[in-house]
Structure 1
Amino acid sequence: MSVSLNLDSRTLVTRIADRLREQIIAGELEPGARIRQDEYAEAFGVSRTPLREAFRLLDAEGWITTRPRSGVEVSRFSPAEVQDIITMRLLLEPLAIRVSAVTHTSEESAALRTLHERWQADRSRWQSQTEEYNAVNQEFHFALYGLKPGADPDPVYAGLRGYWERYTRYRRVYWHSADSMSRSSDEHAALLDAWLARDADRAEVVLAQHILHAGRSLVRSLAGDEPPAFSPQLIELAKRYDWPLS
């Protein structure tokens, strides 16, 4: 196993956790994969103490599962977990876009227009460039929410980023049809229009329905041939935004 770290000013524990999280999101560590402390301590060139602290952090975030006498493994996909993540996104992201819709600057407007134009120009090739698609999709959403790359987020934004990244892990595996990407692009245009118009009410509703639309498809994919059972929390939020889950 080859692991490399770009050293910076962050703590050792945070850097280790970030690298492991990146490997899980990218699919380099698959659901159920065992993470052996001795192998990773050697790969990172650290003692087991910071590695165990990084494991505790990732366990608390839901990325890995620590089992007594069984070790550490990458968390398996769970229909219940993905619905919890969608629920939390619906509680955090509509609030974030409401604030950003009425507080963004003219420079931020111009930057987001440019990003969206790049998205639309490359629309035909997203199906074969899923990694780039995921990166641009995240960049677009975070710009809508006022999240700045490299900035220290407040607790709301920190939580938002965490749930977004956990959701991306599911979407990377289960949701990359050409139709879903095309629909997402159309919904992004509607989001941008509302945001540029500083229409916080419309931006909130369009975003919530955007999340619900994609989330419903993902939950159905996880359910396979069985009809999905949606959580009471998700059902109530869908009612709030007039979006049918059935």
Structure 2
Amino acid sequence: MSVKKNLDLIVIDKLKDCIINGEWVPGQQLFIDEIAEQYEISRTPIIQAVKAMSVEGMLTLTNSGKVVVPKFTREQIYDICSVRLLLEKFAIKQICSNESIRITELTQIADRCACTLIEGKIAESRKLDMLFHKQLVKCGGNECLDSVYVKVQGQFEVSSYLIAPHGEDQQSIAVDEHFQLLRTLKVYDYKAAEEVIDFHINTAAEKIVSRLSDRE
């Protein structure tokens, strides 16, 4: 049972890497048999991975059983980023109003994100970037919002990395902004933290929409 579970998780990571590395195209149809053949495994773990990723908003399962990479309009991208911003602002407000909330793990993730970038592991840095934001929301202490955020972040990853992936310079800027945010949180400065996260997410939204317009 543990072997099967581990295989399912490995396949999910492999498929998520296809998004992080920009290997798919929005609107692209994926075929279970082709993926199974590529990884030389049975269809079952592929199907389980696809189902899990559809819950996270990273893939779409149509009524006819097709597996499709989501394709978002400009309006949908703004909506995704707006909800993401609302959830992260809630977490920031909770952290700044409650000195008992610890952000040790958040700081550790930011450090790892920076280190992997220095080592030239940009895909790993991108994954840690997303983990940083997920941990930020988790620090808010609201499990209901945590579950909502999972899908919002999944949709954001698809729209970001398949339309406007970070290069090394842009990833470096994102890393710096993580540390800016941490500095404001450590002194419980909500207003300053809000300004950092506003800029961080709104800039990303504008970049994605701009790249989307270039493709049209």
TM-score (norm 1): 0.64
Q: Once the 2 structures are TM-superposed, how far is the Cα of residue 25 of structure 1 from its aligned partner?
A: 2.9
2:73 counterpart residue number: 79
Q: How many residues align?
A: 203
Structure 1: stretches of 5+ with no match in the other structure: 9-14, 227-246
Partner residue of 1:25 out of 16, 35, 47 = 16
Q: Distance in 1 between matches of 2:121 and 2:58?
A: 27
Larger fraction in helix:
2
The answer to whether the 8 Å contact 2:58/2:69 transfers is yes
Q: Give the % identical residues.
A: 18
In the alignment, is residue 143 of structure 1 matched against residue 135 of structure 2?
yes
Provide, for residues 172-216 of structure 1, a one-character-per-residue CA deviation record: whole Å limited to 9, x for no partner.
232222331122122112101111111223222321221001221
Q: Distance in 1 between matches of 2:115 and 2:182?
A: 16
1:203 counterpart residue number: 193
Q: Once the 2 structures are TM-superposed, how far is the Cα of residue 120 of structure 1 from its aligned partner?
A: 4.0
Closer/same/farther in 2, CA of residues 59 and 187 from structure 1, 3 Å limit: closer
Give the root-mean-square deviation of aligned CA atoms: 3.9
SS for the counterpart of 1:224 is helix
Structure 2: stretches of 5+ with no match in the other structure: 37-41
Instruction: Give the aligned residue type for 2:71.
Output: F
In the alignment, is residue 43 of structure 1 matched against residue 43 of structure 2?
yes
Closer/same/farther in 2, CA of residues 138 and 99 from structure 1, 3 Å limit: same
SS for the counterpart of 2:149 is helix
User: Which has the larger Rg?
Assistant: 1
Closer/same/farther in 2, CA of residues 113 and 62 from structure 1, 3 Å limit: closer
Closer/same/farther in 2, CA of residues 44 and 97 from structure 1, 3 Å limit: same
1:181 counterpart residue number: 171
TM-score (norm 2): 0.71
Q: Once the 2 structures are TM-superposed, how far is the Cα of residue 61 of structure 1 from its aligned partner?
A: 4.0
1:220 counterpart residue number: 210
Instruction: Give the aligned residue type for 1:79.
Output: T
